[in-house]
Amino acid sequence: MGFFDSLKRKPLKVDDQQLLLEAMLCVAFADGDDQYEETQLVRAFAATLPEFKNADTYEIYEKAEKSVKLHGALHRVKELGSLSSPTLKEKAFLLAMDIALSSGEIDDGEEAVLSDMAQTLQISEETADRIASVLMMKYAS
């Protein structure tokens, strides 16, 4: 590892909007692939959130995507602990799980990201189970 590599690994300064997007992108990119359908789903979810009302969602998305791609999903999950409130932490976890379940199954990479995310965001097992139960109803066929 060279001298400049260590400079690239420093966490970026981010705000709640970017962190919410990063939570979803961490799951979407958990397999190391940024599929068009998943990125479009993240953008669609963002368009429905009150945190992005009157915000330049395109710019925020670009910053979040760059951060997750540069530093990796599991590394960026650790930064989600910087979200400013317990409510936003629960929302970030719910959004991430929603992205994961939208493809039909949660794969090993998504499971690892969600597990780390639950720990970082201090999501109780009861809350995680409740979120999963409701989202599984959403995606049941």
What are the average pLDDT values for consecutive 10-residue runs of the chain, which has 141 residues? 56 74 95 82 94 90 94 94 95 96 88 97 97 94 83
Phi and psi at residue 137, to the nearest 5°: -65, -40
Q: What is the pLDDT of residue 6?
A: 59
Q: What is the pLDDT of residue 103?
A: 80
Unique residue bearing structure tokens 């999903």: 73
- Taking the domains of the chain in order of start, what are their residue ranges? 13-139
Phi and psi at residue 2, to the nearest 5°: -85, 170
Unique residue bearing structure tokens 């990479």: 109
Q: What is the pLDDT of residue 91?
A: 97
Q: What is the pLDDT of residue 135?
A: 95
The CATH number given to 13-139 is 1.10.3680
Both structure tokens of 32: 């190391």
Q: What is the pLDDT of residue 5?
A: 62
Three-state SS sequence of the chain: CCHHHHHHCCCCCCCHHHHHHHHHHHHHCCCCCCCHHHHHHHHHHHHHCHHHCCCCHHHHHHHHHHHHHHHCHHHHHHHHHHCCCHHHHHHHHHHHHHHHHHCCCCCHHHHHHHHHHHHHCCCCHHHHHHHHHHHHHHHCC
pTM for the structure as a whole: 0.87
